[in-house]
Structure 1
Amino acid sequence: MRVRWPYGLRTRLVLAFVLVTALGAVAAAWAGAGSARSALLSEARQRLTGELTARIAAVARELTFPPDAAALDRLRAAVGEQTLVSYVDSSSGGGAERAAEALRGAVRERQRLVWQRIEADGPRLLIGTPVMITAVDGQRRPSGIEVYAVRDLAGTQAQLDELTMAAARTSAIALPLAVLLALLAAGGVLGPVRRVRDTARTLAVGELGARLPVRGKDELAELSVTVNEMAEALQRTVAELRRLEADARRFVADVSHELRTPLSTLAAVSELLQAGSGKLDPVERESAELAVAATQRLVRLVEELMEVSRFDAGMARLRIEEVEVDGAIRDCLRVRGWLDQVVTDLPEVVARLDPRRLDVIVANLVGNALRHGAPPVTVRLRATAERIEIEVSDRGPGLPESVLPQVFDRFYKADPARSGGSGLGLSIALANARLHGGDLTAGNDPAGGARFVLVLPRAAS
């Protein structure tokens, strides 16, 4: 499972650094305290047991065996308070009964010094040891005398408590230091990352000359070099594409301009030919009508190409007038002979628009519906205080889902076998809508058929 962090990279980096640094400092502090604690306890034990055995040794050589009560008392007095000295059924002293009870079995079994640390009634060290004597043959053996003593560890415990407090203070100090170091480290790491981000944003808005400074030889420096190489390659590619695009636009504009004059002549000749086609025999009349239709299509194509070239060159401009939108739509349909083929719902609406470009948009949408849809083709006009909406729909097969994303692309035809259009009409209609600050969308009506919706501001600027 992937863990989703709800924080930014800086916060995550600081938290991770603080966590690692703080854990390391705390672990080191407590490890040091633990080591010192063990050393203190070991030193206290060795000191107390050494002192005990030294005192026993100083008196043991003067003892007679079997010892009497006086000898046991001298040994107990030499060892100190809270000491119990026992021999068979005799004993001397007091205050060490707990030590005797806890350690007697181990002392008699092992016949050597035994100790135990307890915490009841404060930290204490219980010590039990047999008194050894040297026989005439030089061997050491137990004398039967056993010494049990209790020694206070309060001083040692105070030192241990101080060590614990020191470890806690060190841990507390480590946290703000870890935060400071984390902020410094995050700044050092995220500074280059921010520069990469800013450079990427600059490249994204089209300033392809942006580059990153390369500092050092670490991974971030390698990233900066890679980004710079990518930007260089992108700049070269975009420059080449722009050059090719400019060449293509210039070619289209030049060809369209060069074709305009001879096409005007052809259009005039075709009109004369069409006017006199009634005097021709059927075969010649059919040929003349084909020539006229082809000439008209060619004229429309050149006009559309010139319009596209103006949009591409950024030379398209609006000529805003106060327009009776319902009347402009009716005029568009009437001029093209479509008024009887289209159902209209056109309330009176006045808006500030470019009437020529509105005519182009409506003509493209209605013409497209008449060619590729099925009757009835409907044009509806709606308006609010801020915008107008023109809907053109038909009852044809509609637009396939695969066509919708590309329907406004230049030269795109859903069915390449269809003739009668250049594939530029809808793209020109969309460009004119956006030039007004509006939009044009395509979809399918729930009742069937294609549906195009033009939205324009009520007062274009």
Structure 2
Amino acid sequence: MRPRWLTGLRVRLVCAFVLVTVLGAVAAAWASYASTSTSLVSEAEQRAGDDLRHRIGALTADLTDPPDQAALDRLRAAVGAPALVTYHQLSSSDGDGLGLVSADLRAAVASRDRLVRQRVASPTGPKLVLGTPVTRTALDGTRSPSGIEVYAVRDLSDVQQQMDTSAKNAAQTSALALPLAILLALLAARGVLRPVRELRTTARRLAAHDLSARLRVRGSDELADLAETFNHMAAELQDSVAELRRMEADARRFVADVSHELRTPLTTLTAVVEVLEDEAGAMSPDARTSTLLAVEETRRLTRLVEDLIEVSRFDAGAARLRLEDVELRQAIVDCLRSRGWSDRIELDAPTPITAVLDRRRFDIVVANLVGNALRHGAPPVLIRLRADERETTVEVVDHGPGLPGDLASHVFERFYKADAARTRSEGSGLGLAIAVENARLHGGDIEAGNASGAGARFVARFPLRPKEDA
């Protein structure tokens, strides 16, 4: 995989800007080079043609008709070497490079009444080959061909050198455009990405629960529209969250109020059903069954109300620890004995362990974990107590079917039921939620999962000394 910085928006913007700028600079430089080269060549050709016409015109009036060899030699000398002058079978030549005068050029000169130019490459550099017929001008101004043809070869090395210099300048201009393009690209990318960075920063503030975070709107372009849309979304989100928090607070207050209001009548009702339970033996079978059912449901309702009150304390932030030195193995033994579970549980606690914690809340955690294992697991149920230099762990393992794959992340939710069709259970549905809240109040936590070769496995972790007491 490529590093993230290679695919970032800044890198792509800079590369795109540099590429466009450099390509533009190269295109402009080479267009200038092409224009300069064409102009230099055209000017050299025009100058050479004019010079040849001038030299020929200076001797045309003195040529004999028909010209002899001496006349051809004078004309060739006037033109300057390398040059070739022909008249039918007569010719006069001087200088190197006359082999560049091609048959095509001679045919073109013979068929046209004008100067013909041809650029050719040679081992000694670029050359310009000129060919022109010589015409006579009568006294009345009429022009007639003389039959004389003049060919001259001119060196274009100076022109080629100027073109090479122009190409070098174009390359240097293109090279100088690169650092300038990078600088401009960085400045442009900075300006374009500033709103993106602000958007990222504001989004992170929203993710960190700062719902008042907003973007500053600048200008009236697409980025300004994006900022306005983002701010509108953030405002709607803030309103929605505020409404949800208000509804949640109302719901929690309602549960707390109802739970406390039910506590007093339930206390009275519990006392009444306990009296009825004592008298159940003297009742008829139907009355006894109804009475015992009422007693059980009343006690179940009482436990539910107590659990709701406990949950409301956590929600209100009113739960407090009463710390003391607790010998954990003995605390677990007392928890099991008080609930009649001693003969149903295996305790693996080889050494005494002392920790600073709230004994009552530790008892609630152990009782809820063990009670859950007894209700939903299968024997044997094992409690394993261990400690290191920082924390102690209480592991509860049963040998039931274990937790389904997606259940471990939900077992600590309030009133969560693994089977949606099961509407009633022996517990209140709050036991594990209360257990994990008590563990976290100490600075610990509870993990849920499955044990290898066994059933469900819950591990409660408690620091040996809570942070506030350290």
Q: Which amino acid aligns with 2:317?
A: G
How many residue pairs are counted as aligned between the two chains? 460
The whole-number CA distance in structure 2 between the counterparts of 1:86 and 1:232 is 97
**Is the CA contact (8 Å cut-off) linking 2:397 and 2:454 kept in structure 1?**
no
Say whether 1:91 aligns with 2:97: no
The superposition leaves residues 115-165 of structure 1 with CA deviations (integer Å, 9 ceiling, x where unpaired) of 123253133222233334469999866544332222122332232122212
Say whether 1:372 aligns with 2:381: no
1:39 match? 39
How far residue 108 of structure 1 moved from its aligned partner, in angstroms, is 5.3
1:228 match? 231
How far residue 411 of structure 1 moved from its aligned partner, in angstroms, is 0.8
Say whether 1:203 aligns with 2:206: yes
**Is the CA contact (8 Å cut-off) linking 2:331 and 2:359 kept in structure 1?**
yes
2:15 match? 15
5 Å matches for 1:276-287?
276-287=279-290
5 Å matches for 1:287-302?
287-302=290-305
The whole-number CA distance in structure 1 between the counterparts of 2:4 and 2:204 is 25
How far residue 444 of structure 1 moved from its aligned partner, in angstroms, is 2.0
How far residue 109 of structure 1 moved from its aligned partner, in angstroms, is 6.0
SS in 2 for 1:454: strand
**Is the CA contact (8 Å cut-off) linking 2:119 and 2:126 kept in structure 1?**
no
The whole-number CA distance in structure 1 between the counterparts of 2:336 and 2:170 is 91
SS in 1 for 2:373: helix
**Is the CA contact (8 Å cut-off) linking 1:125 and 1:151 kept in structure 2?**
yes
1:396 match? 400
**Is the CA contact (8 Å cut-off) linking 1:103 and 1:115 kept in structure 2?**
no
The whole-number CA distance in structure 2 between the counterparts of 1:337 and 1:119 is 115
Q: Which amino acid aligns with 2:45?
A: R
CA pair 3-322 structure 1, distance change in 2 beyond 3 A: closer
TM-score normalised over the length of structure 1? 0.92
5 Å matches for 1:336-375?
336-347=339-350, 348-375=352-379
**Is the CA contact (8 Å cut-off) linking 1:84 and 1:95 kept in structure 2?**
no
Say whether 1:386 aligns with 2:390: yes
**Is the CA contact (8 Å cut-off) linking 2:76 and 2:92 kept in structure 1?**
no
SS in 1 for 2:245: helix
Which of residues 155, 164, 169 is equivalent to 2:167? 164
**Is the CA contact (8 Å cut-off) linking 2:69 and 2:90 kept in structure 1?**
no
The whole-number CA distance in structure 2 between the counterparts of 1:222 and 1:95 is 76
The whole-number CA distance in structure 2 between the counterparts of 1:134 and 1:354 is 130
Say whether 1:317 aligns with 2:317: no
**Is the CA contact (8 Å cut-off) linking 1:103 and 1:128 kept in structure 2?**
no
How far residue 413 of structure 1 moved from its aligned partner, in angstroms, is 1.1
The whole-number CA distance in structure 1 between the counterparts of 2:57 and 2:319 is 117
1:422 match? 428
CA RMSD of aligned residues (A): 2.5
CA pair 49-370 structure 1, distance change in 2 beyond 3 A: same
SS in 2 for 1:323: strand
The whole-number CA distance in structure 2 between the counterparts of 1:175 and 1:249 is 66
Say whether 1:78 aligns with 2:78: yes
Which of residues 384, 397, 414 is equivalent to 1:410? 414
Say whether 1:445 aligns with 2:451: yes
The whole-number CA distance in structure 2 between the counterparts of 1:137 and 1:96 is 39
How far residue 352 of structure 1 moved from its aligned partner, in angstroms, is 2.2
SS in 1 for 2:294: helix
The whole-number CA distance in structure 1 between the counterparts of 2:220 and 2:432 is 54
How far residue 254 of structure 1 moved from its aligned partner, in angstroms, is 0.6
1:264 match? 267
Deviates more, 1:29-38 or 1:99-108: 99-108
The superposition leaves residues 364-397 of structure 1 with CA deviations (integer Å, 9 ceiling, x where unpaired) of 1111111111111111122222222222121112
CA pair 418-378 structure 1, distance change in 2 beyond 3 A: farther
The whole-number CA distance in structure 2 between the counterparts of 1:315 and 1:293 is 30
> 5+ unaligned residues in a row in structure 1: which ranges?
none
TM-score normalised over the length of structure 2? 0.91
**Is the CA contact (8 Å cut-off) linking 1:86 and 1:145 kept in structure 2?**
yes
CA pair 353-6 structure 1, distance change in 2 beyond 3 A: farther
**Is the CA contact (8 Å cut-off) linking 1:445 and 1:451 kept in structure 2?**
yes
The whole-number CA distance in structure 1 between the counterparts of 2:336 and 2:254 is 34
1:56 match? 56
CA pair 103-142 structure 1, distance change in 2 beyond 3 A: farther
SS in 2 for 1:65: coil
5 Å matches for 1:74-153?
74-87=74-87, 88-101=89-102, 104-107=105-108, 110-111=111-112, 112=114, 113-118=116-121, 120-133=123-136, 143-153=146-156
> 5+ unaligned residues in a row in structure 2: which ranges?
none
The superposition leaves residues 300-342 of structure 1 with CA deviations (integer Å, 9 ceiling, x where unpaired) of 1111111111111122222232221222112111111111111
